[in-house]
Amino acid sequence: MFRAPLRSFSTSTKKTLRIGLIPADGIGKEVIPAAKKAIIALGSDIPKPEFIDLVAGWECFTRTGVALPEETVEILQNECDCALFGSVSSPSRKVVGYSSPIVALRKKLDLYANIRPVVSVAPEAGQQPSVDLIVVRENTECLYVKEETLTNGENGKEARATRLITERASRRIGQMAFELANSRPRKHLTIIHKSNVLSVTDGLFRETVRSVPSLPGVDGKFDGVTIAEQLVDSAVYRLFREPEIFDVMVAPNLYGDIISDAAAALVGSLGLIPSVNAGDNFIMGEPVHGSAPDIEGKGIANPLASIRSAALMLRHLGHIRGADRLDNAVDQVIREGQFLTPDLKGKSTTTEVLEAVLNKL
């Protein structure tokens, strides 16, 4: 079971824990409040939580013309120990002046690693899960630099997108991935790429990550980590056929996004998959699911990914007992199967699932 990003910056000696809450759009406004209640229920196992409500997202943009207010960024940087982010309803068409606030937040706060554990719940406590892997996604570049052009050419309109892969970003995410792999029993790392086609960009990513064990100052730290490689298309295929071969997977931004969403199918639902956006100075939990406009306001959104994201965030900050309690409570609710939302073939509401978790706590 995934336990902790190793670059923790402990807040365990603080009397209060200031948490920024950014529900943003769609079901984010339903699941982030649920995570807040779960955090409060931990009582003395964490410093007294103080919550700061912040805004960002498409709805914010439609009201104000700004998707990510500077005030939100400044408060996160200057007043918060950590944050929880909900979901964004970014339009599929181009809207002048709009850009995804979560992509912008990752860059502004230098949250260069998106860590997404995908773990199944074993039928009985103490048994090994059938799926236990982590997708480590580079969070700041690739196609997500959002540099696109539209011009007229001989064949009509031509759309182009810049894909940026740098040695610095690849090295940082590679080091994070090696540290995570080194902390796990199997100590196995798979580099995901498509360098047989994209030999320059993916080639740089692949070579840079492979070079991490030989960096100055590493001094044999990762000698016990075995390294494998997988082309991204075959990785998706093998993920469904034999997920047990994977332990830690490290990938550029776009591949990591796709792989982790696909892996969610192995454990039942995107509504179960947590993540943290991690940097060297800040941590922000974020459920992997989107804003789900088709179920917004119906009261059936799955809050478990947000609660697990809160657990990941707390674990990174050194509050291990509180994080364990949240994870164990979620595991018990899933294992018993009495209170599950429709994405898990259940009939319970968001509130009923939350109450079940709170009862386990």
pLDDT for position 11: 72
Query: What global pTM score does this model have?
Result: 0.92
The helix (run of H) or strand (run of E) holding residue 22 is strand 16-24
Q: What's the token pair of residue 123?
A: 């039928």
Query: 7: closest CA among 280, 274, 222, 276?
Result: 280
| Distance spanning both ends of the chain, measured CA to CA | 19
User: What is the bridge-based pairing of β-strands 188-193 and 248-251?
Assistant: parallel
pLDDT for position 14: 82
Reported as a single tens digit per residue, the pLDDT across 163-181 is 999 999 999 999 999 999 9
User: What is the bridge-based pairing of β-strands 276-278 and 283-285?
Assistant: antiparallel
Reported as a single tens digit per residue, the pLDDT across 14-29 is 899 999 999 999 999 9
Instruction: Give the chain's domains with CATH numbers.
Output: 16-111+285-360 (3.40.718.10), 132-150+158-266 (3.40.718.10)
Strand partners, 84: 21, 285
pLDDT for position 128: 86
pLDDT for position 9: 63
Query: 8: closest CA among 256, 312, 295, 338?
Result: 312
CA–CA separation, 244 and 130 (whole Å):
7
From first to last of its 361 residues, what are the pLDDT tens digits of the chain? 445 455 556 676 789 999 999 999 999 999 999 999 999 999 999 999 999 999 999 999 999 999 999 999 999 999 999 999 999 998 888 889 998 999 999 999 999 999 999 999 988 877 888 899 999 999 999 998 888 899 998 889 999 999 999 999 999 999 999 999 999 999 999 999 999 999 999 999 999 999 999 999 888 999 999 999 999 999 999 999 999 999 999 999 999 999 999 999 999 889 999 999 999 999 999 999 999 999 999 999 999 999 999 999 999 999 999 999 999 999 999 999 999 999 999 999 999 999 999 999 9
CB 109 within 8 A of CB 284: yes
pLDDT for position 1: 47
pLDDT for position 260: 92
Strand partners, 142: 164
Using CB atoms within 10 Å of the CB of residue 222, give its burial: 0 to 12 exposed, 13 to 18 middle, 19+ buried. buried
CA–CA separation, 169 and 113 (whole Å):
9
Query: 7: closest CA among 119, 170, 173, 167?
Result: 173
Question: How many Cβ atoms are within 10 Å of 224's Cβ, its own excluded?
Answer: 10
* DSSP label of 338: S
CA–CA separation, 17 and 39 (whole Å):
11
CB 41 within 8 A of CB 361: yes
CA–CA separation, 162 and 327 (whole Å):
40
CA–CA separation, 7 and 281 (whole Å):
9
Q: What's the token pair of residue 111?
A: 């949250």
pLDDT for position 122: 85
Which amino acid is present at 347? Answer: K
